[in-house]
Amino acid sequence: MGFVYLAALLVSLFGMVVLDRRFRLFFWRDVPRAAVTLLVGVVFFLIWDVVGIDLGIFFRGETSFMTGVLVATELPLEEVFFLTLLCYLTMNLLAGARMVAAVVLDRRGSSTAVAGDPAAARSTDGASS
Amino acid sequence: MTYWAVNAVFLAIVAVVGVLALVTAAVRGRAARASSSPGASTRRRREAVLGAGIATGVLLVMTAVFDNVMIGIGLVGYDAARISGVFVGIAPLEDFAYAVAALVLLPSVWVLLGGPKAPRAPRTASAAAATAAAAASKEARS
C-alpha cells in the first residue's frame, strides 16, 4: 500500500488551509457558505468522474503510489481528496488573485492620479471585499 | 461516448449555473449601485475581471504541470479510442475541462449562496453611516 499520493494531497490541502487562514480567502470569509460550495463542487466532479469511468474513458492507473482503497468501481480514495484540493485551490486562487488585482489597480491608479494617496487607496481594499 | 461528449454535458450544466450567478450578481449590483458611488462599482468590476483572468491563467498552468505529473507516474489512464488525441504534453486536452468547470462553477455557487442580505445591508442610512465611519477611522489609523 502506497501512501505517497495521499500524503502529497493532504500536505497540499494543509497548505490551502494555511493560506485560507492567513489571507481570509474561503472558509475564513464564511464557513457555511464555503462548506456548501466545496461540497457541491466535489460531488459534481465525482459524478463527472463516475460517468467517465462507467463509459470507460479513463481508469485508475496501476501504480504503487496509491493506497488501493476504492470508494467506487475504479475510483480511488485519493480522487476524493484530489477533487477537494482542486475546488479549495480554485476558490483560494480566485480570492487571492482578486487581492492581487486590487493592488495592481491601486498602483496603476496612484501612478496616474496627481493627488493619489496610496495609503488611503490601500485602506479601502479590505472594506470592498 | 467520447470524453469531449461527456465534458460537453457537464460544461453545459456549469454554463447554466454560471449564467444564473451572473444574472443574480447583476441584479444585486444594480441594487447596491443605488447606494454607492458609480466609481466604486466600476472599480469592483475591474478588480473582478482582472482577478478572474489571473486565477484562470494560474490554474490552467498548474493543471498542465500537475496533470502531466499524475499521468506520467501512472495515477490515471485513458482509453485512446475515446479521447481526441490532442495533448498538452501527455495530458489530454479534455482534462482541462475540469479546471475550466471549477473556475466557473465554484464562484457561481458561492455567489448564489450569498443571499440578498449582504448587498442590501448598506442601503439603510445607519449601515451606510457605520461603513463610512469605519472607513474613516481606518484611514485615520493608517
Q: What is the ipTM of this complex?
A: 0.84
Q: Using 50, 70 and 90 to split pLDDT, how confident is the model at B34?
A: confident
Residues forming beta bridges with residue A59, ordered by sequence position: B77
To the nearest whole angstrom, how far is the Cα of A39 from the nearest Cα of chain B?
Answer: 10
SS3 content of chain B, % helix, strand, coil (to 5): 80, 5, 15
Determine whether the interchain pair A66/B114 forms a contact, defined as Cβ–Cβ distance below 8 Å: no
Determine the average pLDDT of the residues in B11-19: 98
pLDDT of residue B121: 44
Residue type, A12: S
Residue type, B42: T
Determine whether the interchain pair B102/A57 forms a contact, defined as Cβ–Cβ distance below 8 Å: no
Determine the average pLDDT of the residues in B130-138: 59
Cβ atoms A37, B110 nearer than 8 A: yes
- Lookup: cell for A58: 479513463
Residue A25 exposure: Cα atoms within 13 Å on the Cβ side: 23
Cβ atoms B56, B106 nearer than 8 A: no
Extract the residue ranges of chain A whose pLDDT is less than 70. Answer: 1, 112-129
